[in-house]
A and B are shown apart, each in its own frame.
Chain A
Amino acid sequence: MPFKKSFAVLMCVVFAVMLGGCNFLIKTEPKETKIEYPTRPITMIVPFAPGGNIELKLRAMEKVIHKYLGQPIVIVSKPGGGGFIGWTELASSEPDGYTLGASSTEMLLQQYYGESKYHFPTALDPIAQFTESPSILLVSTDQPWKTLDELIQYGKQHPGELKSGHGGVGSNSHILSATFANLCGIQMEHVPFRGGSETTAALLGNHVQFIFSSPPLAKEQIRAGKLRVLAITGEKHLTDPVFADAPTFKELGIDLIHSDWNGIVAPKPLPPEVKEKLVTAFRQAIQDPEYKQNMESMGVEPVYLDSDESLDRWVKDIKRLKKMITETGVLEQVRAQRK
């Protein structure tokens, strides 16, 4: 009977795998002793697919963090639902400091986009913010527009003709391009793509006329003279020489200010000593010269905020983003889709 034999072997293998999973070194420690932390590697949940922007920045962190924490971090990718799945898992995991996660601006928007078990900005505790990066408005050098004003004038004279590419309904690039159109009174269309690479490719092939993108993704194309930056959404100019000449929207009289940030978050409530240890370690890691150099070569500026500053930032950003998504109708669009 092949079935019986197969079943027996199957069970044996299952047992063997389970044996392998046993940890023979588990020791029961008396609870009163002072918490020694960390004694084993720390899991870092990245709520996006492997190879993404945030993972890349965390990899640079992974290189240096063990110097300050005494233990390595293990990056685990839990993609899905625009970060939703990973953050939900993070919020529901044990608050012992051994499971941390990466945060991004999108985390603040989840509460408006759909129902969720957790309200992430209150369920998660910020440890540090490690980068901040404005978005840039890009056009192809095949197009005649040399300044933002020329693009706006063209858009006004040819209603409906300009198309912008974005990385999915409700994504940051969508919100920005909708806000831009709204503020300048341009009637235009938004074309959804899957992520930043496809959007950039569509711009290079002149299938769309402009996009909002992040500096690292576009740097090489700008250096090669294929793309042109018309404006950046930051408060001040970027230091990278490739982008240094680009004016901010504010300088051009358009009230479009936005920066994407990334940080480290932990489930609540962390034991105070653990949190303190984490905050210190990540602060030191972010100031590490090797880390700084790595980030700069990618075109990302390391901008550090501590736990409390991050929280302030969240509160401000939630207000600003909510205003942007309601005024442009992006929120309505997302809600209509998710019904």
Chain B
Amino acid sequence: MLLHGLSVCMEWDNLLACAGGVILGTLVGVLPGIGTVGAIALLLPFSYGMDTTSSLIMFTGIYFGSKYGGSTTSVLMNLPGETSSVVTCLDGYAMAQKGRAGAALAISAIGSFVAGTFGIIGLMVFAPPLAQVAIEFGPPEYLALALTGLMILTKFTCNSIGKAILMIAIGSAVGTVGLDSLSGASRFTFGSLELDRGIDLSLLAMGIFGIGELLTVMASYREPVKIPKIRLRDLYPNKEERRRSTMPIVRGSVLGFIVGLLPGASATISTFLSYALEKKVSRNPKEFGHGAIEGVAGPESANNSSVLATMIPLLSLGLPFCGATAILLSGFMIHGVTPGPTLITEYPDLFWGLIASMYVGNFMLLLVNLPAVGLFVQLLKTPMSILMPIVIVLTLTGTYAINNSAFDIIIVLICGLIGFFLNRAGYEPTPLIIGIVLGPEIEQRVIQSLVICDGNIWTIVSRPISAPLFIICGLVCLYMIVSFIRQKNNKRKKIYSFDD
């Protein structure tokens, strides 16, 4: 059946649509601000004249292609091109400053390819049963997952637990800004209509990381860190780097695929979780944040396989669980195809053609992205003082394009200032983003769980699927408390030994 799909995909116009889609997707990923949703919405009218299969192949190509390009600006200038590449800034940018930008980009392209292929196989083989699993998870189960995730991420994405908790708390508060879609309450809006819409995650990410970094560079009296000259031989990852990235790519692929089945900003969450996992299993976690290749390989793989997992509820249930799949659903329906349980049997050509196009597209992406690494690294030769302003204008233009709102530009600039001060004060901005993503999610799930379980907390934690999840959650919590006390004790012992 896949062979049949390949024959559909190999038709001239479909192949062209696939290539066009993935290249556009890469561009969407590279350009900060312009997201998948905006790009597909913009292209919908152009697809009316196209054949159904080709246009769907193109849209899907844009969707998974965007996760390839997202890392580019993260690595080169600490400016995430997509929210799912925020975490790549941490080590990718540090690697770039050590002259290993090429290696970081190449590894992220290779990781994306491996994870993408893994994701497609998962999608092809397990779609219907996995969709069933996703449905079995109700609000209490998601609550348990989100809580566990929050605790793990607090510990592993930054060095000081106290600061991390503070930032997560602030992040959760920022996440509640706007008209709450559940209750209709408008919170922290000070009567401003624009704030009713809430603060878009991508705006925050661009502001805090990208513009914040620009301000930091501008404010430092010294020239930005000299980037060592890169010889062609050093452009691609060396043996050591390849060895160190293999397992993170594998782990990232699996993790991303599982997390991708959850509703919400799952691609972004998967990258954070993958980063935390790599830091946990690493033999020298101290290196993270200072250019550890594992911190690029894991997350960049995770976001690609998670994207393919988000296609599962879309294709086998017809239910989009995030913004990008919602617009993809529009793309399907405007061409008269409604995805659902009967999609595979009713439109075999389309379904298998689409799956085959993903394999082909994924391969094309690798072919496009690996040589592009050299090109992008050349960009770094441009002095930062010229490169940065150009990128900032591009970013702000992209910002405006998200909601066609000038107010959003102000938000990005304010976030930039915040990012600058956080940087100065030695706070890591990552937990802030985690708070914004997970805080509202937890709030929503608590409300829903309480109504579903008649306000009885015991019912929430004792449902057949939620019970084991909450037990895991409790264990993680216990582990964290124990390790925290241990650390404190160790410190005290050290002090005493000095006294002796």
Contacts and interface: CB of A to CB of B under 8 A. Distances in A.
B179 A81 contact: yes
A2 B217 contact: yes
Contact of B404 (A6, A62, A76, A190): A76
Contacts of B385: 2-3, 5-6, 9
A67 interface: no
B138 A202 contact: yes
Nearest to B448: A191
The interface size bin for chain B is 35 or more
B185 A338 contact: yes
Interface string A67-80: 00000100111111
Interface in A18-33: none
Nearest to B38: A50
A194 B182 contact: yes
Interface string A181-200: 00000000111111101101
Nearest to A11: B389
B135 interface: yes
A75 B326 CA distance: 16
B121 interface: no
Contacts of B16: none
A294 B338 CA distance: 12
A88 B193 contact: yes
7 contacts: A3-B385, A50-B40, A56-B330, A168-B184, A221-B341, A226-B341, A298-B333
Contacts of B317: 201, 204, 221
B475 interface: no
Contacts, number: 196
A198 B444 CA distance: 12
Contact of B338 (A51, A62, A81, A298): A298
A58 B390 CA distance: 36
Given A6-B385, A297-B336, A201 B193 contact: no
Contacts of B3: none
Contact of B135 (A72, A85, A201): A201
Given A13-B390, A191-B451, A220 B318 contact: yes
B474 interface: no
Secondary structure type dominating chain A contacts: helix
Nearest to A223: B342
Contacts of A75: 41, 45
A224 B340 contact: yes
A81 B196 contact: yes
Interface of A: 2-3, 5-7, 9-10, 13-14, 17, 49-52, 55-56, 59-60, 62-63, 72, 75-82, 84-85, 88, 113-114, 160, 163, 168-170, 189-195, 197-198, 200-202, 204-205, 207-208, 216, 219-221, 223-224, 226, 294, 297-299, 334, 337-338
A298 B332 CA distance: 10
Contact of A168 (B181, B193, B196, B389): B181
A113 B184 contact: yes
A294 B184 CA distance: 33
Contacts of B197: 79-81, 85
Given A2-B218, A6-B388, A168 B182 contact: yes
A195 B44 contact: no
B425 interface: no
Nearest to B397: A17
B218 A77 contact: no
Nearest to A81: B196
Contact of A60 (B223, B323, B334): B334
Contact of B41 (A50, A169, A208, A334): A50
Given A51-B41, A168-B184, A205-B137, A191 B452 contact: yes
B500 interface: no
B182 A169 contact: yes
**Of B182, B185, B384, B393, most A-chain CB atoms within 10 Å:** B182
A202 B134 CA distance: 10
Contacts of B388: 6
Contact of B330 (A51, A169, A207, A297): A51
Contacts of B41: 50-51, 55, 75, 77
